[in-house]
Structure 1
Amino acid sequence: MSTSGGPKGAKDLDIADLLDRGPWWKNGRLWSLNLWLLLLLLTSYANGYDGAMMNNLQVLDQWRVTMGDPSKEKLGILTAIRNIGLLAGTPFTPYVMDGFGRRVAIALGAFLMISGTAIQSASFSASMFMGARFLFGFGLAFATSASPLLIAELAYPSHRGPIVSAYNSLWYSGAIVAAWTTFGTFRIPTQWAWRIPSILQGAPSILHVTLIWLCPESPRWLLSKGKDAAALRILAFYHGRGDEKNPLVRYEHSEIKKAIERDRKVAETVGWRTLLATPGNRRRMRMIIALAFFSQWSGNGLVTYYLNLVFDTIGITSTTTQTLINGVLQIFNLSICLLASALVDKAGRRVLFLTSSGGMLLFFSLLTVCSARYAITGSSAAGDAVIAFIFLFFGTFCLAFTPLTVPYTIEILPYSLRAKGFTVFSFSLALALIFNQFVNPIALPALGWKYYIVYDCFLVFEFAFMYFFCIETKNRTLEQTAALFDGEQAVQDLATSGITAIILPNESREGLDEVEKRGEQSVA
């Protein structure tokens, strides 16, 4: 079998021979590049900060008094309004990203988020607070759409998988800061107990507005606008130690140009309907939409945004205890996510997704049993077991559904559909979040532990879906990934266009035939 998965005689280029063989930390330009990528990763930090902050604000009497002691229904609106703003902003993001560049989209999003944070921190009513969170969510749509794409398009080839996987993982870094900030301020007897955490929410956006213009733009976007020299300079400076004739730089420059030329040939036929026009694209959309909903409907949304309500069902009502457990949980989650991010190119996407789905089903089922036991008997041991299973549940959730949803979505989308396809992912994610944040605060107090059974059933469906439809993309070239979704004709078309295979370094080809066969059976 040809390692490219393409027609016989197709030429493979082993990119491992082109990469810098020295340790990356001895390369000052890669240090600089990765620091810029760290700035972009802060978008995920800002997203995570908001989730944990809202979770903890709900237990503060100072916040509840300011908001007029909101009912369960109003609490759902106060939490979900950010994602309604996110949903409203998402349709505009691909036009800004592709028309004006990734950096402009990030800067615009950051400016709107700063404005929303300022109004939110000064709020004196629930209506003002909701308006501010809508504005924050609208800006977040631009920032969270553009940042992962710019990371993927700037990262050094052998770093791309782990770094893009770390994007969603750093959601928990923001959650950690928010959880411990609120833990430190809840003792303040005034409204500053919640206003201080709210003010600190704007810190990453201030960094983005001031520093994003110094960050390199996407070489692919520059080439798409005819700025070949600027794109080549960026690739050379960060990937080739400043040498524009570096083989890796010339290769990347050439491949991006070929891909853009191919995009332009089909530009007239690539619209939103194209996402569903072919069987291969429908398979992609099925997986992308499923990942968006699975990442929020696995039971994690219940604990992430309404942990205080979960604690109430097992008799933990102390503000100190609730905020302390939440702070420790966020540190635990971040550790597991970063570990999984480092393993994505070794363990494989399918293995991690199935392990995560199976583990969540097991531990959420046990969480349900222990919650029922506590409700029936009042056993303190059952209540303690619920806390343990929350940690184990999130440990398995963080193996895949935090680090892998973004990179897997980007991997399975061809260049011509990437911005629109990622917009569908973001839109679906916002819908899933909005549903959760409206329903959970009403259903959980009404049904108690019985509401967990809904998620148990959904996790059974989720595991079955991932088993039959999740295709392994580890160790695959562009041609092989296209073939798994579009059929062998895609391989012929790509080979004809002159785009060659890319084989990343340090990735074993052992067992590739077996994995490919399983993936083709899943597609069939």
Structure 2
Amino acid sequence: MGGATAIASTNVTPGHFRVAGQEFPHVKWWNLRNLRATYCLLFFVILTSATNGYDGSMVNGLLSLKQFTTYMKNPGGSITGLFSGIMFLGSLLALPVTPYIADGLGRRWGIFIGSLIMIFAVILQSCSVNFSMFIAARFFLGFGVAIAHGAAPLLITELCHPQHRAIFTTIYNTTWYIGSIVAAWLTFGTNHIGNQWSWRIPSIVQALPSILQITCVWFVPESPRWYMFKGKPEQALKVLADVHAEGNANDEVVQLEFEEIKETLAIEKEQETTGWLELFQTPGNRRRLLILISAGLFSQWSGNGLVSYYISGVLTGIGIKDSNTQLIINGVLNIWNMIIATVMCFFVDKIGRRPLFLISTAGMMCCFIVWTICSERYDATHVKANGSAVVAMIFLYYTFYNIAWSGLLVGYTVEILPFAMRAKGMCYMFAMVDVALFFNTYVNPIALKHIGWKYYIVYCVWLAAELIFIFFFYIETKNTPLEEIAKHFDGDAALVGGAMATEKGRIIEQEIHEKDTKEATAHEESVGL
């Protein structure tokens, strides 16, 4: 089953990209004014992921601040889990409405509405006078993040030039670390403030990405695919021409893209492939669903949740109890993570998605086994060298994690979905992320407190299971235009139109043409009467 049902080639001549079966020389985006401006503006779309990263690191930082824990009356155990996990519960409850905002109002409106809710939540959080108020604020924060998160990657993948789509959509999730770094070092700095501002300042700064987004998102062009799906082909062509060809609507790449998008979306509409249950209907869709669900789970149930939200507990367990030292390790780790994750984005189309997932997961499994052994040795002997080895394994573990999971979690899952199912399909993936995070953030502190290093054994076994699943179910999609990726999953049954239409696509295109012709004839006759 690992070989997949792909019939589309993933090989492209070096220095070229492919659209509708034709190869074109690489485009130097920095030499093209419109493309350069668009990619700079997309930075403000990417900030959605940075907001998520900021929160994770801020939670770590606040739990290490004595000023915060004292003010909140020393929360611990299950209360600490609720402190982190309530945000993911908010995200989970928001997911059913996110595709209707992104598909109904547009990708930009989704980002705007989500950011607005997050600003309200940050105000409530920063003004908290007790732990209950802080938790309520984090619920609304999660609600807003889910809405923005449900629209931002869609806009990026649907707007980017085909040559750069894989890099940009992969970069989206890696900016989690930008927010994480800012929060880690900010809480390290405010740790030296001896009053409530030590934790209120990091909380207030959390609003900055959302403020930038609601201000700048309207300067970013809307998705041409969304315009096309809403029956606005002229606006779709204009965006494609402006962004991909400096305004030249007659450019060959633009025309090929336009026809492929137009015909493919028409076929999807004709087949009514927009429901929540569509991913259960065909073998190809069921495979997509397995990938979506597994990617969401694996991205958070691989042991990374221990460090992302509870590094203080992990480090305390190996004898590193000083809050300053914990904050420094957290800050340096996030810088290292960002470097590795960003570098790997540029190898997605060179190496391929499937090999990166396999290398990443196998490396994580090996590192976690050594991490577990070193933790057991420290627990038995209290030899400092064993604790230092755990820190080294944490860094090496995250090196492997960032080879694939930080970027491809969104980059891969968003591209395997046809437009009509993209917003709803991503909700399945994000739902699994939220379920896993809610479970992890609630269970991890309890498990660490009661069984310590023995809890790590669970992740060693789970990572082995992940590796086997990826080998058999994940499909390679590198160097494939967005509309044509369906061929890798559905073969000749894929709903693809344009120059690279499948047999089923051509049949439906003909039916649509005949239907349009009959309607036009009937209209002419009625006018004539």
- TM-score, normalised via structure 1 length: 0.90
Please say if 1:424 is aligned against 2:425.
no
Match among 135, 140, 148 for residue 143 of structure 1: 148
Inter-CA distance 81–391: structure 2 relative to 1 (3 Å threshold): same
Q: CA deviation at 1:392?
A: 0.2
Please say if 1:311 is aligned against 2:315.
yes
Q: Which moved more, 1:324-333 or 1:421-430?
A: 421-430
Q: CA deviation at 1:338?
A: 0.7
SS of corresponding position for 1:58? helix
Q: Distance in 2 between the 1:4 and 1:497 partners? A: 20
Inter-CA distance 14–48: structure 2 relative to 1 (3 Å threshold): same
Q: Distance in 1 between the 2:118 and 2:202 partners? A: 15
SS of corresponding position for 2:277? helix
Please say if 1:342 is aligned against 2:346.
yes
Aligned to 1:88: 93
> Do 2:34 and 2:242's aligned partners in 1 also have CA atoms closer than 8 Å?
yes
When the two chains are superposed, the root-mean-square deviation of aligned CA atoms in Å is 2.0
Please say if 1:73 is aligned against 2:78.
yes
Q: Which moved more, 1:485-494 or 1:300-309?
A: 485-494
Match among 409, 412, 432 for residue 413 of structure 2: 409
The one-letter amino acid paired with 1:311 is L
Q: Distance in 2 between the 1:279 and 1:249 partners? A: 32
Q: Which moved more, 1:486-495 or 1:41-50?
A: 486-495
Aligned to 2:449: 445
> Do 1:279 and 1:486's aligned partners in 2 also have CA atoms closer than 8 Å?
yes
Aligned to 1:202: 207
> Do 2:8 and 2:487's aligned partners in 1 also have CA atoms closer than 8 Å?
no
Inter-CA distance 98–347: structure 2 relative to 1 (3 Å threshold): same
Q: Which moved more, 1:171-180 or 1:463-472?
A: 463-472
Q: CA deviation at 1:488?
A: 3.9
Inter-CA distance 15–184: structure 2 relative to 1 (3 Å threshold): farther
> Do 1:103 and 1:217's aligned partners in 2 also have CA atoms closer than 8 Å?
yes
Match among 467, 486, 492 for residue 503 of structure 2: 492
Q: CA deviation at 1:495?
A: 4.6
Aligned to 2:180: 175
Q: Distance in 2 between the 1:48 and 1:55 partners? A: 11
Aligned to 1:471: 475
Q: CA deviation at 1:281?
A: 1.3
Q: CA deviation at 1:467?
A: 1.4
- 1:240-389 map, 5 Å: 240-267=245-272, 270-389=274-393
> Do 1:5 and 1:479's aligned partners in 2 also have CA atoms closer than 8 Å?
no
- 1:19-168 map, 5 Å: 23-168=28-173
Please say if 1:460 is aligned against 2:464.
yes
List gaps (5 residues or longer) in structure 2.
1-5, 11-17, 495-501, 511-529
> Do 1:333 and 1:398's aligned partners in 2 also have CA atoms closer than 8 Å?
yes
**Count, aligned residues:** 491
List gaps (5 residues or longer) in structure 1.
500-524
SS of corresponding position for 1:16? strand
Identity across matched positions, percent: 45
Q: Distance in 1 between the 2:98 and 2:229 partners? A: 17
Q: CA deviation at 1:191?
A: 0.7
> Do 1:3 and 1:12's aligned partners in 2 also have CA atoms closer than 8 Å?
no
Q: CA deviation at 1:496?
A: 4.0
Inter-CA distance 101–370: structure 2 relative to 1 (3 Å threshold): same
Inter-CA distance 331–254: structure 2 relative to 1 (3 Å threshold): same
Q: Distance in 1 between the 2:30 and 2:204 partners? A: 35
Inter-CA distance 475–30: structure 2 relative to 1 (3 Å threshold): closer
Q: CA deviation at 1:460?
A: 1.0
- TM-score, normalised via structure 2 length: 0.90
